[in-house]
Amino acid sequence: MMNLNHKEWEQKMDNINWKEMLEDVEAALMDNLAAEIGFPTYDRLLQSSELISGRYHLTYLSDGRFAWWNPDTYATGEDPCFFSNKEEMVAYIASVIQLNQEQQEKLRFNLQSFQQMKRCETCDHEYNPKDPIRYEWDGDKDNQAYCSFECAVESVLKEEKDF
């Protein structure tokens, strides 16, 4: 263990880039949120979710459930909520963000157009099958079982190895 005198300790503390450290902690926290919902990164989660109000998001998962989440409340200890019953979900959302009856009906209607995610057969992460980035490597939409080119290749290599 390194023994530092008081002056050396103060110098080390002065040299820490606290802003960068806080940014790293926040990025790790958001990636943890993504993992809790089933995504490999926060960016992928964000791209696959619908903004409902303020910073509240809703994500339609591959198993038919909806994940309701907010990065700000997650950072303060509130976990995402998961709903398999749409009416319970609408009632919960209405109570959290104070939706009137008309707004609740609009939310019910908009739920019909939400893109349901798929689960990758290789890495088991959720992904948006209509993400434009996927068309760069899956233009013919032949590999809908995989979230990325890397997972598709890994699957082929595993099949060849098993053969």
Domain ranges of the chain: 34-115, 117-163
pTM: 0.82
How confident is the model at residue 80, as a pLDDT?
Answer: 97
How confident is the model at residue 25, as a pLDDT?
Answer: 65
- The whole-number average pLDDT for the span 118-144 is 87
Task: Using alpha carbons, list the distances in angstroms from residue 50 to 18, 53, 101, 141.
Answer: 32, 9, 20, 23
- The whole-number average pLDDT for the span 13-31 is 75
User: What element of type H or E holds 135?
Assistant: helix 134-137
Residue-wise pLDDT tens digits, 69-128: 999 999 899 999 999 999 999 999 999 999 999 999 999 999 999 999 999 999 999 999
